[in-house]
Structure 1
Amino acid sequence: MTATAPTPATAVSAAWSLWALLLGVGLLMLGNGLQGSLLGVRAAEEAFGNSVTGVVMSAYFVGFLAGSTLTPRKLRDVGHVRVFAALASVTSVAILVHALFIDPWVWAAMRALTGFTYAGLYVVSESWLNGHAGNHLRGRLLAFYMVITYLGMGGGQLMLSLADPNEVTLFLVVSVLVSVALVPILLSYTPQPDTGQPESMSLRRLYRLSPLGTLGCLLTGIANGSVFGMGAVFANASGLGVKQVAVFMGAFILGGALLQWPLGKLSDKTDRQAVIMVVAGLATALALLGLYAGGAAQLTLLGVLLGGTTLTLYSLFLACANDVLSPSQTVAASSSLVLALGIGAILGPLSTGLLMEWLGPDGFLWDLALIHAAIVVFGVYCLIRHPASSADDQGHYVAVPAGTATLGATWVEEAASEPVQLELDFDPAPDAAAEAEPQD
């Protein structure tokens, strides 16, 4: 059941009316940030091996895809509050199972379950935000949500130093954080949004409309999956202690938070494709320079710089895709772009785990370098085949946290009509005759 409320006049009033939801999201992200690094470090201590650890961490994104497509159906049946409460409760239980059974296959199953629940929680939260604010407030409200998300994830990384990862304490802390996130939602009145039924759009059609935006989301999904799935494993294998691993991962997320907005604003004023290529080129160079970094201080600085380039690309690709979409296409296209991100995120920990088995800790950096080099190469191809629109014709950039479901209303609305069509046979030469819409 949904409730209606007067449309907020300002972004501050919109955020204040949703304080319970935003507080709950912050607590959830604290738990998510701590959980990711905790499992990576503990898996290394238990000698799972880099390849097996990669499989375990990739399971999160397999569940993420399932959760983001199935959860919206329940939203229409029982509403946002009940779905939020149910998913958070399951998340709280899943992390405790990790502590009870130290087995890679049990962990993989629980990671998949956690990915399912967190995807659903993102859908609930972001559809709530999008349904509560009009177009004139949505960008600023989502930017505020982004800040809370990054602060939560970064703070969660730093909490890794509160106790020994080999003990049960940190697992209990994650469970407590996720459970407490329910309290403000359940004990306060927060208006719930309505849903609609927009058109669907396959990945193949979206690629024809925006090759760089679509394939870029897939590639940056691989990079983000590598960072969040194997970053702590890399830091631990590089000789950093538990506290230093926490600082390294926190620095990565801090870099993404600091540079997300400036780079987005720059892309609004100049050629967005060129900005993407420069950022990806810098990420490639930084990853290669990281091969020569040693010690906690240099690796932490590397984390800030790499985070500022790697974690900002997703929002740039979203803006790039939306530059060529009509208003009636943006909702359906957003869900397909998130799907591309999720598919890439599944591949990230797997590819990094294999490279780290072969090359040691350096495999993490080589993986990031190769991914971003591929983005640069494909960017050059797109600049030649599909010249970018002028800055005046570009859409407005909206910062979105990497690794979450963007615009959860997309999932809510599209799942009500029909599932996203998963067509991955990307054509390297889009058929301009098939799609008359303007190119990137």
Structure 2
Amino acid sequence: MYVAMKNSWALLLGLAFLMLGNGLQGSLMGIRASLEGFPTGVIGLVMSAYYMGFLAGSVVTPKILRRVGHVRVFAALASLASSAALLYAVFVDPVVWSLMRLLTGFCFAGLYIVCESWLNDAATNETRGQLLSIYMIIMMGGMAVGQLFLNMADPAGYDLFILISVLISLGLIPMALTASPAPNFTASTRLKLKQLYRISPLGMIGIFAQGISGGAFYGMAAVYGDRIGLTVAQISGFISIMILGGVLLQWPIGRLSDHFDRRWVLSISAMSGGVAALLALYAGETGNFTLFLVAAALFGGFSVPIYSLCIAHTNDHLEPSKMVAASSGLILVNGTGAIFGPIVVGPMMSIAGSAFFFAWLAFGHLGIGLFALYRMRVKPSQPMDTHSPFVAVPVRNASIVVALHPETEEWDEGDDARAASDADGAAPLEEGDEIPEILDDGPALGENSS
């Protein structure tokens, strides 16, 4: 572990600064857009541009990495993201902001790919799990702490945009000065989406619905808080505690899914998240801020693990050598859902009022839970010894992070029997049938093959 940390400390330190800046930026954009009088529907479009850029960055960055290398790509993308943060304050215009959000999403997708491929190269079978845990803590912790920086200056001014730019620029310094050798980059393959659906309908539908809900939350939570009259300090606390709730409950929920039918755990977690969203709706409308924070923490605790549960459920039907390829497709599906979240919620908040925000989140989570129950009814559960261990991964990562789990390296040919078992409801694969093919000639991450 010491060797892995020695080779990765600069990367992890830089990542911490990046996540502080990214966490602050998302909430600041929502608050500032409201202060500037942008219509709620327009704000939804602006916020969704980040996810469009993220998907584009997932496709393009691997091609650039193969040409110029990790350090140069990291430096270029961090510089672009830092510059975009300043342009928000200079040009307060929805069109310019949408373009900058698109650019920011593109940059952060590439930055995640660089970080995860570097960590994967530095890890050994003995240190993979520990590095993945540290990566997870830095990602989610940085996002949560970044919310608190909203209280350092007036969102109506320039200072917070400058702070975002500084934080992102600071993230570049450790990487630029590191003497550790850059890894050799090998782009991951991917599964066709129709094959991915055949492997696991629940995994694919669940992660799409989670994307819609997650995109709506991260894009519009600050706008919702402003609409119901929360102060900046209350908005920052509300979003931060939601993220921390997800960090705290992700591991125990994941461990439960390793010992029980994962579909039961996914269903209960999703429906609990839906109930927590309804509780937050009630608390927000009645002005009970203490209850609102409790509900937000519970919502995050039950909602955030859904992403990892869907990946784990899909992995239950694959041998480890196919997991990274499957996660690439799932990330595409999740990111596509995230684009639609703010686009739907923004205009509907203008029409139906602020209450639609948590009503939408409740509807999405209850839908995931009910669909999981339906899949359990049409397809018997798999034997527990065929389950792959739960891997907690941060939402909106690159698929390379799945390769950090030791199981993806510790696979032998005898595990093909598990891969031949069908998913949670797809047509059974007969003995001798091949597992859905892997495309070796497509883009590395996240592009639709259909």
Q: What TM-score, normalized by structure 1, do the two folds share?
A: 0.90
Structure 2 counterpart of 1:313: 306
- Give the SS at the match of 1:18: helix
Q: Check the 8 A contact 2:19/2:139 in 1, yes or no.
A: yes
Say if 2:345 is the partner of 1:355: no
Distance 1:299 1:342 in 2: 28
Q: Please name the residue that 1:193 is paired with.
A: 183
Instruction: Give the CA deviation at 1:334.
Output: 1.3
Kept in 2, the 8 Å contact 1:94–1:110? The answer is yes
CA RMSD of aligned residues (A): 2.1
Contact 2:82–2:168 (CA<8 Å) still a contact in 1? yes
Distance 2:56 2:224 in 1: 28
Distance, in Å, in 2 between the alignment partners of 1:41 and 1:81 is 34
SS in 2 for 1:90: helix
The 5-angstrom pairing of residues 2-401 of structure 1 reads 11=1, 13-196=3-186, 199-293=189-283, 294-401=287-394
2:59·2:446 contact (CA, 8 Å) conserved in 1? Answer: no
Is the partner of 1:181 in helix, strand or coil? helix
Structure 1 residues 273 and 179 mapped into 2: Cα distance closer, same or farther (>3 Å)?
same
Q: Return structure 1 stretches of 4+ with deviation > 4 angstroms.
A: 420-426
Q: Does 2:440 match 1:419?
A: no
Superimposed CA distance per residue, residues 51-108 of structure 1 (whole angstroms, 9 cap, x where no aligned partner): 1100000000000000011001111111111100100000000011100011111101
Gap regions ≥5 residues in structure 1: 1-10, 427-440
Deviates more, 1:79-88 or 1:381-390: 381-390
Q: Is the 8 A contact 1:67 1:119 kept in 2?
A: yes
Matches within 5 A, 1:396-411: 396-407=389-400
CA contact (8 A) 1:253 1:307 kept: yes
What's the CA shift string for 1:321-341, capped at 9, x where partnerless?
111012332221111111111
Distance in structure 2 (CA, Å) of the matches to 1:220 and 1:337: 11
Percent of pairs identical after alignment? 47
Q: Please give the alpha-carbon distance, in whole angstroms, between the structure 2 residues aligned to 1:14 and 1:386.
A: 42
- Which moves more between the two structures, 120-129 or 325-334? 325-334
The answer for the alignment partner of 1:6 in structure 2 is none
Cα gap change, 1:420/1:347 in structure 2, threshold over 3 Å: closer, same or farther?
A: farther
CA displacement, residues 227-274 of structure 1 (integer Å, 9 cap, x when unaligned): 110111111112110111111111111101111111111111111110
1:136 to partner: Cα distance: 4.1
Whole-angstrom CA distance in 2 between matches of 1:124 and 1:422: 15
Residues 190 and 440, structure 2, Cα contact 8 Å, conserved in 1: no
Contact persistence 1:69–1:415 (CA under 8 A): no
| Distance in 1, Cα, partners of 2:125 & 2:345 | 39
For the residues of structure 1 that align with 2:178 and 2:187, how far apart are their CA atoms? 29
Structure 1, residues 367-406: CA drift from partner, whole Å, max 9, x if none?
1011112101211221122333232210011111113334
Q: 1:36 to 1:30 in 2, by over 3 A?
A: same
Q: What is the CA-CA distance between 1:408 and the residue it aligns to?
A: 5.3
Q: 1:135 to 1:335 in 2, by over 3 A?
A: farther
* Deviation at residue 353 of structure 1 after TM alignment: 1.1
CA shift for structure 1 position 421? 10
User: 1:274 is paired with a residue of what secondary structure?
Assistant: helix
Aligned residues between the structures: 413
8 A Cα contact 1:56 1:104, kept in partner: yes
Return the TM-score normalized by structure 2. 0.88
Q: How big is each residue's C-alpha offset from its partner over 1:104-135, in whole Å with a ceiling of 9 and x where there is no partner?
A: 11101100010000011011111111222134
Code of the aligned partner of 1:93: S
Q: Which moved more, 1:242-251 or 1:388-397?
A: 388-397
